[in-house]
Chains A and B, each alone.
Chain A
Amino acid sequence: MMVTLAMHMIDIVQNSLRAQADMVTITLDERGDESFLLFRVEDDGTGMDRISLERLTDPFFTTRTTRRVGLGIPFLKMTCEQTGGSLRVASTEGEGTTVEALYRTDNPDCLPLGDLEGSLLLLVMANPAIRFRFNYRMGEEMFRFDSGDLREQGIDLQHPQMLLPVKEYIRENLEALWRHRAAASYLC
C-alpha cells in the first residue's frame, strides 16, 4: 500500500518510463477554496490502446511477465476515491498518457504528501536521459522545477553530493507555498 502521495508519484512515473517517455510532467495543484488537490502525471510515451485503458484499474491486468498483478493504478484509484475524489486516465497511442487523481483535502483520509522532493530527485538521478518537470501550484502561486533547465544552468543532478542541496532547495520553496494552506485542509 502507498501511504504517501510521493510514493504514488514514484510508482506512476515508472509507468511513463516503461512507456519510453522522454518528458514527464508532474503537477500538484492545491486548491484551498475548493478543498481539493489534483495530482497529475503527463508523459509523451507510447500511450495505450483502448483495451489496455479499459483494463487499467483491474488489479489482475499488467503488461509485465514477471508477475500477474498490476497494482499501481488500482492503488492510486483506491487512495483518491477513499477521500471522495476520483481518477481519470487519458491516453493516445503514439502520443502519451495523462493520469490524474483528485483528492478531497477536506477528508481526513487524504494521504500525506510525503517526501516529494527526495522522491523526485531519485527519479531524476536514476533517469538522466529523461526531462522531469515538477510543478506545485498553490492558488495563484507556483513553484516549478525543471531538470532540463537546471542542467542547462550547470547543476549536476546526477551527483550524489547535489542530492541534499537540491532537496533542500525544493523543500524550502514548497514550504513557502504551504504557508498559504487553509487551516481546514487535512493535507500535510
Chain B
Amino acid sequence: MMEHTTGIKTLADLKRIQEEVRARISLRDKAENPESLVQVKVAMATCGIASGAKEVMEFFALELDKRGIDAVVTQTGCMGYCFAEPTVEITLPGHDPMVFGYVNPKKADEIIERYIKNGELVDGIIPQNYNTIES
C-alpha cells in the first residue's frame, strides 16, 4: 500500500522507490485496454484552480489507485460552468460522460464510492447534453 516514505532527496532515492512501485504493480493485473478504464477529467482553468481543483485532482489520482480502480486522471479546460467549480467530468466504460459540479474531496469520495463503483447517480450532476426531440 501507499505509505509515506521519508528521506527522498536524491535521484537515487527516487529510482529505489520506482523499483518498489514497479514490483508492486507488476503483481496487480492492470487492464491495458483504455476502454475499460474510468476517465476522470478535472477542469483546471482559472475558475477551477481558484476553487480548489488541484486538491480534487490530487484526491482522485491518489484515491482511485488506492482503492484499486483502473482510471486515468487528467485535466481539461473550462467547460463554461464557472459558477459550479470545481467541476469534474467522469466517463465510465461504455457510458456517456457525466459532469459533476461543486466537487471537493468529500464529494469526490462520494462520487468514487457511489457513481464510479456502483453507477448510482449522486447530487451535483450538471446536465451537459440536451437532446431536442424532433416532432
* Chain A contact residues, CB within 8 Å of chain B: 1-2, 6-7, 10-11, 14, 18, 64, 66-67, 70-72, 75, 115, 118-119, 122-123, 125-127, 150, 153-156, 159-166, 168-169, 172-173, 176
Contacts and interface: CB of A to CB of B under 8 A. Distances in A.
B133 interface: no
Nearest to A71: B46
Nearest to B76: A126
Contact of A165 (B14, B57, B65, B74): B14
A100 B69 CA distance: 40
Contacts of B11: 150, 153
Interface in B1-20: 2, 4-11, 13-15, 17-18
Given A2-B50, A161-B24, A163-B61, A125 B18 contact: no
B75 interface: yes
Interface of A: prevailing SS: helix
Contacts of A122: 54, 57-58, 61, 75
A7 B73 contact: no
Contact of B54 (A118, A162, A169): A118
A155 B74 CA distance: 19
Contact of B2 (A6, A118, A164, A176): A164
Given A11-B49, A125-B61, A153-B11, A162 B18 contact: yes
B74 A75 contact: no
Given A122-B58, A161-B2, 19 more contacts: A7-B49, A7-B54, A11-B45, A14-B45, A18-B77, A64-B78, A66-B79, A67-B78, A71-B47, A115-B54, A118-B54, A119-B54, A122-B75, A156-B22, A160-B64, A160-B65, A165-B8, A165-B17, A169-B9
A66 B65 CA distance: 32
Given A161-B21, A169-B9, A7 B50 contact: yes
B25 interface: yes
11 contacts: A14-B46, A66-B79, A115-B54, A122-B54, A125-B74, A160-B61, A161-B21, A162-B18, A165-B14, A165-B17, A169-B8
Given A66-B80, A67-B80, A119-B54, A126 B13 contact: no
Contacts of B44: 10, 14, 126
Contacts of A64: 77-78
Given A14-B44, A126-B75, A154 B9 contact: no
B82 interface: yes
Nearest to B19: A154
Most A CB contacts (10 A, CB to CB) among B15, B46, B82 go to B46
A172 B9 contact: yes
